[in-house]
Structure 1
Amino acid sequence: MKTINLLAVLVGSLCIGACSNIDERTTASGSVDYLEHKTVPPLKVPADLTAPPTNNRYAIPSLGSNDAPQLVGKALSVASPRLVIPLVSGSHVEEGSKQAKVLFDQINDNEPLEKTIWDTVLAYLELNNIGVDSFDKENNELITDWVIDRQEVDNGWLDFSSDYIERARKFKLSLELAPHGRTAALHSSMIKYIDENREDLIDSINPIAKRTDEVNFINYIIAEYDFGIRLERSERIAKIREGFSSEMGFNPDGEAAFLVDAEYADAWPRLQLVLRKMGFDVVDLDQSSGLLFVKYNGPEESWFSGWFSKDELSLDEDDYRLIVQKVGDKTSITFKDIENEAFTAQQVTEIFPTFSEYMAANDLDI
């Protein structure tokens, strides 16, 4: 008897679940008979009587010019609105904005901000097999090809097979660049919509559903942007940890210097690791001007100190300064004394073996 009762409960639960779909879960439940109600005329008071006091506390406001009159009753969605999610470092949204828009700040000085954003957009489209209908680089506008969305439709709780319906959309992505060029706003808007019956319904689509699709699309791009930044950062860290080769040469001013086979942005953090290993303490630094003030304290003291001659530098324990400069695709590093006099070629030659070995050491441990 208990088995039969349990089976009846399970069957009932399946029936209830089968009768529920996504549309029902996103619309208000209960009666919508209020739609049939007429406006009650104001109370008529005889001329010889005093009208009771009234207020408009519960008055229903009239629709505005931008409101959708069809969003009433069952057509009104009660689901939480989709939000643009600014995952990327330096990204943000405008408070109170109803648009599917995200703002990016410049965080990579190696290339223009608009190039970084459009490269991310194109990478996302290619990864998801979405074509490009048109791309106007001068006006910073891109229109996608058809974005196909397949939704599974259950045939019924007793039928375990499923059918699919497809709908197609086209999006326009527009980029607004701030005059200073270090902030850009990426905006997503749906411009075409074809339902499962191959009917073009872009003019009659539910505005809430339209905005949901626009926000979802731009969130996918933001996620791709964030992934690209994290991947680039991890690859850059791995490259810096592997080390760089170096040689003796000259800086752009013709002074004796070390030439590191690395971009300036990669050589700068690596140099700080190398200096610490060589026995220098960085007192102050300014990456924008490529200037470091250091103090030489001698080689690190450890149980194996003195085993390797490279630990000893023919330098007085004193203050020094380093000038880091970009030289093509390489970076020059110039050692100077506190009076800003560059090391002689002999001094550079004497400390080069130690410098080059630490600069090239793989997985340098500080």
Structure 2
Amino acid sequence: MKNVILYGSLSCLLVLAGCSSPSQREKVSGSYDYLKTKQLTDGFEVPTDLQQPLRSNQYDLPILESANEDAEALVGQNMRISSPRLILPLVSGSNVIEGSEDAVVTFDKINDREALDKTIWDKVLGYLEKNNIGVENFDRENNVLTTDWVVSRTEIPADSWYDFTSEFIEESRKFTLSLELAPHGRIASLSNEIVAYIDQDGNSALNSLDAISERSDEVEFLNYIIAEYDFGIRLARSERIAKIRDGFSTELGFNADGDSAYIINAGYNNAWPRLLLVLRKMGFDVIDLDQSSGLLFVAYNGNDDGWFSGLFSDEELPLEKDNYRILVQRSGERTSVTFKDDENISFDIQLVTDLFPIFQEYMASDNLDI
């Protein structure tokens, strides 16, 4: 079965002139008379009454060996002048291997909640599914995936400016993606290799592809995957920011130690930045914090003087202007917040209850700056 992905499409604006085809733009233009030029071997013709000058071979043209067919082919119209395809490390923490001729990109682990290899394969499979590209084989244990046929359609411009009809050529390719994970699991390299090719005439012609074309195809397909990976990360980040901005509902409850606490209906990573905003609005200044341990050291300096504080009361919170501690803990898919004094003693249930209305309102408000 062949699955179609429209990539590398070419559109030309015909304005009183024809538009060259992709293959023509990859070749030099002009006269090729220089190919007929032969190097002088007899040296300078010097009059007999003058001394022959010393001759250096520093600027002699190299002689192509007849056995080297590739060298003989890379002259004149057969010389490719297209710029090389470059890998685009768009994803945060990604980079390229300098000097490598292979289509390979490395990723650093930036999400500790999920294994890096799972993250990458999820993005690869998501891209393939989104573009209706089948999977011929996926060896998850050895981190190797081979795609089904990826069909590209390239537009061939008309021969004359007044001809508005379009023709297309189709080519099909299969790629093998390989993932190499470092022993520590925090760095992985994703490489791409073309393993099958059918030309526009329907012939299997992988061996006919030159090195430049192979790398271009491999890098181009890898770049599509990287771009989709980056888009997914940016989309998830935007959705997360929107959730934090909208606020979360809160309930009275208990933390894992049985102390009175506020239970935020949000995951830890979303509740944490939202809590920092709420504390600022409540009149707390954060002195120190450690998100990995969920501990904040704060100082209460009085309510925010902004207009929003007037919706509750003109009085300040029933707290001394002093230093306090706040413990933030994961509670399944929710998050618990426990207020403590500077001696690490949790607030009693009455004080927690008294503070709850303003904490709940600020946590749910969508008017906080982010």
Q: TM-score, normalised by structure 1?
A: 0.84
Q: Distance in 2 between matches of 1:23 and 1:277?
A: 63
Q: Distance in 1 between matches of 2:351 and 2:64?
A: 84
Residue 281 (structure 2) pairs with residue 247 (structure 1):
no
CA RMSD of aligned residues (A): 2.9
Q: Distance in 2 between matches of 1:196 and 1:307?
A: 71
How big is the shift at 1:313? 1.7
Q: What is the aligned partner in structure 2 of residue 143 from structure 1?
A: 146
How big is the shift at 1:255? 2.3
Residue 80 (structure 2) pairs with residue 114 (structure 1):
no
Q: TM-score, normalised by structure 2?
A: 0.84
Q: What is the aligned partner in structure 1 of residue 312 from structure 2?
A: 308
Alpha-carbon deviations, 1:145-165, whole Å to 9, x = none?
111111222452154322222
User: Any idea what SS the aligned residue of 1:200 has?
Assistant: coil
Q: What is the aligned partner in structure 2 of residue 197 from structure 1?
A: 201
- The number of aligned residues is 345
User: Any idea what SS the aligned residue of 1:83 has?
Assistant: coil
- Pick aligned residue for 1:270 from 241, 260, 274: 274
Q: What is the aligned partner in structure 1 of residue 29 from structure 2?
A: 29
**Percent identical across equivalent pairs?**
57
User: Any idea what SS the aligned residue of 2:207 has?
Assistant: coil
Higher relative contact order (CA 8 A, sep 6+): 2
Q: What is the aligned partner in structure 2 of residue 328 from structure 1?
A: 332
Q: What is the aligned partner in structure 2 of residue 5 from structure 1?
A: none
- Supply the AA of the counterpart residue of 1:21: S
User: Any idea what SS the aligned residue of 1:350 has?
Assistant: helix
Q: Distance in 2 between matches of 1:77 and 1:308?
A: 73
Q: What is the aligned partner in structure 2 of residue 286 from structure 1?
A: 290
Residue 355 (structure 2) pairs with residue 351 (structure 1):
yes
Asked if the contact 2:39/2:61 (under 8 Å) is kept, the reply is no
User: Any idea what SS the aligned residue of 2:164 has?
Assistant: strand
- Pick aligned residue for 1:92 from 86, 95, 112: 95
Asked if the contact 1:310/1:354 (under 8 Å) is kept, the reply is no
User: Any idea what SS the aligned residue of 1:236 has?
Assistant: helix
- Pick aligned residue for 2:83 from 72, 76, 80: 80
- Pick aligned residue for 1:103 from 81, 101, 106: 106
Alpha-carbon deviations, 1:175-208, whole Å to 9, x = none?
1112221221111111111001111111120211
Asked if the contact 2:264/2:336 (under 8 Å) is kept, the reply is yes
Alpha-carbon deviations, 1:227-279, whole Å to 9, x = none?
11111011001111111122222222232222211111111001001101111
Residue 221 (structure 2) pairs with residue 217 (structure 1):
yes
Gaps of 5+ in 1: 1-12, 44-49
Q: What is the aligned partner in structure 2 of residue 187 from structure 1?
A: 191
Q: How does 1:156-171 map to 2 (within 5 A)?
A: 156-157=159-160, 159-171=163-175
User: Any idea what SS the aligned residue of 2:229 has?
Assistant: helix
Q: What is the aligned partner in structure 1 of residue 4 from structure 2?
A: none
How big is the shift at 1:35? 5.8
User: Any idea what SS the aligned residue of 1:161 has?
Assistant: coil
Gaps of 5+ in 2: 1-14, 44-51
Q: Distance in 2 between matches of 1:153 and 1:306?
A: 68
Asked if the contact 2:312/2:358 (under 8 Å) is kept, the reply is no
